[in-house]
Amino acid sequence: MSFPTVRRIVTGHDSRTGKSVIETDDALTPANPLDPTGAPPPADSIIPGFTNLFRTAGVPATNVQGAWADVFGRKIGLVDPSGVFCRVVDFPATTRDATDDVNIMHRTQSVDFGVVLDGTITLVLDDGSETVMKQGDVCVQRGTNHAWKNVSTETCRMLFVLVPSTPIRNEATGEVFPLTDTAHLEDKTHMATQ
């Protein structure tokens, strides 16, 4: 199964007049987050399709005109500590016991806003709880250990906005919770230039 494209429209300002303009209007194909070439996931795969839409260069963001770093098609970790990140993820239908290198229990140093655009998905927490989310539902993920599982018969499309945060600590002990190693999702050659 191939995932539908994501239309990304980026606005800016005309450098002479200051009027609002469309800088880009592109149809983006979801990529396999494990493939360094940015190719789509294999048709029969349970690997989700990642469409990296935009990343700010810091917080607060700057709207200075000029070239912006396009993150589409690049291998970038789940969260970027230097700025806010926006992506669409397509989760193919899987069986309950399917495992792979992407749909894993993970924790990131961020506050994530996950919006179900289409389909249904199950949010799994490390306490064993499972919450089914449907179209229009929003999850505010506050650095908790979690996984996403689509055990329906249809693809689920979600929009994620990830905001870097301070380290996540156990309130009782002060211990910093460990983050999940997502190095297999990153292309370090692009991180320094973005």
pTM value > 0.75: yes
The pLDDT value given to residue 67: 66
Q: Who wins on pLDDT, 1 or 38?
A: 38
Q: Give mean pLDDT, residues 66-81.
A: 74
Question: What domains lie within the chain, and their CATH numbers?
Answer: 6-185 (2.60.120.10)
Q: Give mean pLDDT, residues 165-187.
A: 81
Q: Which of 89, 60, 73 is nearest to 150 (CA)?
A: 89
The pLDDT value given to residue 189: 40
Q: Who wins on pLDDT, 103 or 89?
A: 89
Total Cβ atoms within 10 A of residue 23: 13
The pLDDT value given to residue 68: 73
Q: Who wins on pLDDT, 130 or 186?
A: 130
Containing H/E element for 189?
Answer: helix 188-191
Indicate the range of 60-64, 117-121, 145-149, 158-162 predicted with least confidence.
60-64
Indicate the pLDDT class of residue 64, thresholds 50, 70 and 90: confident
Cis omega (within 30 of 0) on the bond before 60?
Answer: yes
Quick check: 190 pLDDT over 80? no
Quick check: 193 pLDDT over 50? no
Burial label for 53, CB within 10 Å (0-12, 13-18, 19+), is buried
Mean pLDDT of the chain: 86
Tell the residue number behind the tokens 């870097």, with chain if given: 164
Quick check: 171 pLDDT over 80? yes
Q: Give mean pLDDT, residues 89-102.
A: 74
Per DSSP, the three-state class of 188 is: helix
